[in-house]
Structure 1
Amino acid sequence: MQTNVLEFFLAGALKKCPNKTAIIDGDVRISFAELDRRSRTLAAAIVARAGVLNEPVAVYLPKSADVVIANVAIMYAGGIYMNLDVKIPPLRLKNILDHVGPKLVITSRDRVAEVQGATAGITHSQIVCVDDIAAQDIGQEADAAPLRFRKLIDTDPACIINTSGSTGTPKGVVLNHRGVIDFMDWVFEEFRFDESTKIGSLSPFYFDIYILELIACLAKGATLVIIPDKLPIFPAKLMEFIAEQAVDFLFWVPSIMVNIANLGLLEKVPLPALRTVFFAGEVFPTRHLNMWRRALKDAVFVNLYGPIEIHVDCTFYIVKDDIPDDQALPIGSPCRNTDILILNEADQLCATDEQGELCVRGSSLCGGYWNDLEKTTRVFVQNPLNTRYPELIYRTGDLAVRRADGLIYLAGRKDYQIKHMGYRIELPEIEHQVLGVPGIANACVVYDSPKKAITLFYQPSGAHVSAATIRQALSEVFPKYMLPTTYHAMAQLPMNANGKIDRNGLLLSLADSD
C-alpha cells in the first residue's frame, strides 16, 4: 500500500528510467538520477538546518528545475512543500509567511533580501540558498536524510497551496499524501502517461495543475518541459515552442487557449505531436474549444473541474461528440472514488435538472486550511444525508445541475468567489483592500463574466480619488491577476431593501451599458 507521494518516484521513473531526461528548463537538462542526487543533497541540508517532519518549508524561487528539486528534497526530508510566487507584492508575501510560519525558506542568494525584507518572522538561519547547496558535496549525509519521509502516514500533509482569502490573508489549503495518491491513481488508470510523454508546463508551480505534471513526471518517466515565463504573452512564440519541443500533453487554463484560437494560430502553427489536452480552472467557451478540436482532430480534449480543496480536480468530461458553439460544456462525471452531491437549500439531493450547491465527498477532500479552524469547519461539514457516522463533505459554493444523462453542468457561484484567468479569487478580499485606500467611503467589486473583467465600483468620501491611485495601492498588495480591470466612481453606491450594496443592480448596469 502506497502511503507517500515520494514513492511514485522511487518505484517509478527513478527505478525504471534513471538516465532519461526528467526536466527541460531552457538549456538545462536534468535526468531522473540527477534529480534524485540533487534532491537528496538538498534534503540533507534541510534536515541539518531544522526538523521539518510534518512542517512547512517555503520555496521562493522562479519557476525552474530548482523548484522541482526543492519539492522532491522537502518530501525526502518529510516536510510540507509550499511554492510561492516571486512576483507577489512584499505585503502579500509577508501575510503568507506570517500566517503559515514555515520552518525554512528555500531561495536563491539574490532573493534573500526580498524574504527578509517582507517579514521579521524569518531569520537568516531559516533561509537555505540553493546556490550554496549546489556548490557543496554533502556526501554520506545525503544518504541518511531521505529516511525521514518513511515516518509519514498517508493523511499527513504533502503541500500547502495559498489561495485568496476574504479577510486579506490568503488561505493555506493543506493537501495530503492520500488525496494526491488517490487522484493520480485515477489519472493513470484513465489516461496514458509513459516515458514518451512530454508535458508542456505553462502554469505556475504554486498552482495545483503542477501537482499532476510533477507526479506524471516522477511516476511515469514523462519529461517536464518548462515553458519560459515570457512566452504566454507572445502566443505565436508559445505555439512555436510547443511545436519545436514536440510536446504531446498540455494541462492549461482556457484563457490562453482562447487567445491562441482568436489569433488564428492553430492554422498557422501545426502541432502534430500533441495528443492530449487537459483544461480546467474556468469555463472554456465551446466555440473556441471547437476551433482547437478542428485543428487537432487526433487529440483528446478533457474538461476537468475541481476546487483546490479536493486535490486538483474531482470531475472530468472527455469531449467526444460534436457540441454546438452555443451549448455549454459539461464538467462531466466524478473521478474514481469521488462522489458529487448536488444539494438544495434544505440540504436534500436535487432532482434531475434542479439547481443546487455542488458538494464533494471522498478521499479527495483536503485536510482543510492551515492555521484556520474556523474557515475549515465552515465549508468542511458533516454530510447532511448521513446521520449514522461522521463523514465530511466539502461545500464548494458552486451551483450545478445534473441532467438526465447523468452529466453535471456548472450554473454559477453561490457567493462572490470567482475563477479569473484560472485563479480562484474572493471579491471581498479586493474590497477589503480598496476600503483601506484613503478617501474611499465604500466599494463593491463584481465580476463582469461576459468580458471576464473584475470591475470596481467605489464611492469617494470627499475629493475625487482616481482609478490610478487605487490601482497603485492595490498593486502593492495583489498580483496582477487580482487587480480590477475597470473602475467606476459613484457619488453613492446603490443599496437594496436590506441596506446592503445592490450587487445585482451593479451587474445589470454593466449588462445595460454593453
Structure 2
Amino acid sequence: MIQPTFPALLHTPLGLAADATPDKPAFRFDGASLTYSELADTSSRMARTLVEAGVRRGDRVALFLDRSFQATIALFGILRAGAAYVPIDPGASQQRVREILDLSGARCLVTTEAKRAALPGGFPASMSAVIGLSKPLEAEVDVISWEEALSSPDLGARAQVLSETDLAYIMFTSGSTGTPKGIMHTHASGMSYACMAANLYGLRADDRFSNACGLHFDMSTLDYFCSTLVGASTTIIPDPWLKLPASLAELIEAERLTVWYSVPLALLQLVEFGDLGSRDLSALRIVLYGGEVFVPKHLETLRRLLPDALIGNVYGPAETNQCTWFNVPEGWNADRGPVPIGAACPNADLLVIGEDDADVAPGETGELAVRAPTMMQGYWRQPELNRTAFLERAGAGGETQRYYRTGDIVIERPDGNLDFLGRRDRMVKSRGFRVELDEVERAIAGLPMVSEAAAFTVALREGVTVIRGAAILNPDETIGARDLAAAVARLLPHFARPDRIELLPEFPRTGSGKIDRRALAEQLSGEAQVSGVVGNA
C-alpha cells in the first residue's frame, strides 16, 4: 500500500502512485483507462489553468459534470490548485446550480458543453471563468474550453503551498427543508477517513474499486481518495448501467471489481433483477453499503448470493464521514431484524446522549454524538448552525472536546453494537402519541410482498395529522393497497398505523439514490402540509 506520511494532502497519493506505477490504470470508464501518469499530468494542467484564471488558495471551484474522466481530472486539478471543490448534482436545475454558485462564492465552474442548457443565465460576481465550454456565454464571464485547459503548461512553480487544515471540498445538502448546508471538509479530515477505511477493510493496491455515485455524494470520497491512497484502480460506472441491473452485474464481472460501495438501492436491484447467480463474481471481496437501512430480507438474499464476500454496513453522516462499522456475519437472516450500525471506528469516539446532553445508560435510547478526526470543520458561513450542531465537553486535561450531534437515535446492544432506531426529526405526534416513522417504514418493508417502503405524515388541517405510507411491491406481486394496509395494521399499534398506503412502481430519488421522501409526500398529498420527511441529504 502506498502510505503517505499522515497527515497529507488528498492529492499527494496521486503523485506518489504516478511515480511508483505510472502506467497502471488509476481510473477506468466505459472500457477506457486513465493511467496514474496521465491523471497526474492532466490534473496538473487543469490546476495551472485554474491558477491562471485567478484561483487562489482557499477559493472554491464548482464541479458540474457527469461522472467521467473529465470530472476526475477536474477534481484533482482543483485540489492541486489549492482550492476546494464544490460538487453539484449533475441533474440539478438552473436554479439549483446558481444557488450553489452563490452560496459557495465559487471562483470558477468546471463543466462540459453537454451541460450548457442547465447553466444559469447569469453568474455571481465572484466568478472569473467557466471551464469546459467550446463557445462563449451571454453572461460576462470568461470561457475556457477543455482543449485549452489541457493544453496549458503543467503547474510547475505555480503550485500552491497548502496545509492539511486547508479546505478540500464543500458538499451541499439537498436543501429540501430550507437553505442548503455546506459541509466543509479539510484535507486532514478527508485523508483521515481514507486511511481509516484502508486499514479497517484491508484495502490493497491490487483492488478494483467501483464508483457508483456522483461527486456530490460523500460516498464518492472512498472511491477517489482511498483508491489513490493504496494505489488501486477505480472503475467509474456509467449512469445507464446503474439503471440496468443485468448489465451492471455483467460489468462487475467483466471489470473483476473487488470493492463495491453504494446505497442499498443499487444492491437491491442487483438482487432482484441482476441474475447474480449466473455471474462469476468471485473477485468481489468487499461489498459496503450505507446511506439508508438495507431491508433485512434483501440483505439475507445478498449474503446468500455472495457467500465469500465481506458485506459491511457503513454508518456516518456526511458531516463525520464513516464513524461506525458492522460486517454482516455468515448465516445472517431476516429473522434477526435490522442490521446494527455496529461499533465505533478505530479513530472515533461516540456518545449516546439524552435530551439533557448527559450520557444515557447502556440499553437506553439516545442521540448519537461523534468526535473523530474525520469530522467536518463546520457548515459553510452558517455560524448559528455551527453553534447548535456541536456538543462541547471538557476532556481529561481540561481541553475542549467537540462532538457532532448526528440527530440519529440509537440504542446500545448487550454486545456493544449500536442499533439505529431513526432520525430525531422523524419522531412525530399522531393521535396524541409519539410515533417513529422509521418504525412504520420497517413494518411495511418487512412484509414479504414489499420491495421498498416509505412513511411520512400529512397535516390535513390545523391540529389534524395522519400517517401515510407508500410501497413498491416485489415483481409479480398482486396484493392490493387495502389488503397491504391490513397486513401492516397487524404489526403496529393503532396510533402508528398509516391511514393510507399507496402502491407505486417507483419512488422519487435524491441525486445520491436515496428515497426522496419530501418529493414523495408532495406527490401523494398535493397541497397538504407534509412533515416527517426531512433529512434527505
TM-superposed CA distance for 1:453, in Å, is 3.1
User: When the two structures are superposed, what TM-score results if normalisation uses the length of structure 2?
Assistant: 0.77
Q: Are 1:174 and 1:370, in contact at CA under 8 Å, matched by a contact in 2?
A: yes
Is 1:161 the counterpart of 2:171 in the alignment? yes
Equivalent AA in structure 2 for residue 452 of structure 1? A
User: Could you report, residue by residue, the CA deviation over 1:143-202 in whole angstroms, capped at 9, with x for unpaired residues?
Assistant: 223x20xx2222221101111336532111101111112111111222233332111211
SS in 1 for 2:192: helix
User: When the two structures are superposed, what TM-score results if normalisation uses the length of structure 1?
Assistant: 0.80
> Which whole-Å CA distance do the structure 1 matches of 2:528 and 2:178 have between them?
25
1:55-70 aligned at under 5 Å gives the runs 55-70=59-74
Is 1:314 the counterpart of 2:323 in the alignment? yes
Tell me the residue number matched to 2:3.
none
Deviates more, 1:18-27 or 1:130-139: 130-139
SS in 2 for 1:230: helix
TM-superposed CA distance for 1:27, in Å, is 3.8
Aligned counterpart for 1:484 among listed residues 494, 498, 519: 519
| Aligned residues between the structures | 450
SS in 1 for 2:386: helix
Provide closer, same or farther for how the CA distance between residues 141 and 321 of structure 1 changes in structure 2, counting only shifts above 3 A.
closer
Tell me the residue number matched to 2:22.
18
SS in 2 for 1:19: coil
> Which whole-Å CA distance do the structure 2 matches of 1:491 and 1:228 have between them?
37
Provide closer, same or farther for how the CA distance between residues 345 and 123 of structure 1 changes in structure 2, counting only shifts above 3 A.
closer
> Which whole-Å CA distance do the structure 1 matches of 2:388 and 2:234 have between them?
37
TM-superposed CA distance for 1:455, in Å, is 5.1
Deviates more, 1:483-492 or 1:252-261: 483-492
1:202-241 aligned at under 5 Å gives the runs 202-241=212-251
Equivalent AA in structure 2 for residue 218 of structure 1? T
Higher RCO (C-alpha 8 Å, min separation 6): 1
Is 1:85 the counterpart of 2:89 in the alignment? yes
Tell me the residue number matched to 1:357.
367
> Which whole-Å CA distance do the structure 2 matches of 1:187 and 1:8 have between them?
15
Q: Which runs of 4+ in 1 moved over 4 A?
A: 135-141, 384-387, 458-461, 477-481, 486-493
User: Cα RMSD between the aligned structures?
Assistant: 3.0
SS in 2 for 1:159: strand
1:14-413 aligned at under 5 Å gives the runs 14-112=18-116, 114-117=118-121, 119-121=122-124, 125-129=128-132, 132-135=145-148, 138=151, 140-145=153-158, 147-148=159-160, 151-165=161-175, 167-263=177-273, 265-310=275-320, 312-326=321-335, 327-383=337-393, 388-413=398-423
Equivalent AA in structure 2 for residue 215 of structure 1? F
> Which whole-Å CA distance do the structure 1 matches of 2:263 and 2:344 have between them?
20
TM-superposed CA distance for 1:70, in Å, is 0.5
Provide closer, same or farther for how the CA distance between residues 489 and 127 of structure 1 changes in structure 2, counting only shifts above 3 A.
closer
Q: Which runs of 5+ in 2 are unaligned?
A: 1-5, 135-144, 429-436, 445-451, 463-507
> Which whole-Å CA distance do the structure 2 matches of 1:89 and 1:209 have between them?
22
Provide closer, same or farther for how the CA distance between residues 184 and 46 of structure 1 changes in structure 2, counting only shifts above 3 A.
same
1:415-434 aligned at under 5 Å gives the runs 415-416=425-426
SS in 2 for 1:195: coil
> Which whole-Å CA distance do the structure 2 matches of 1:485 and 1:404 have between them?
37
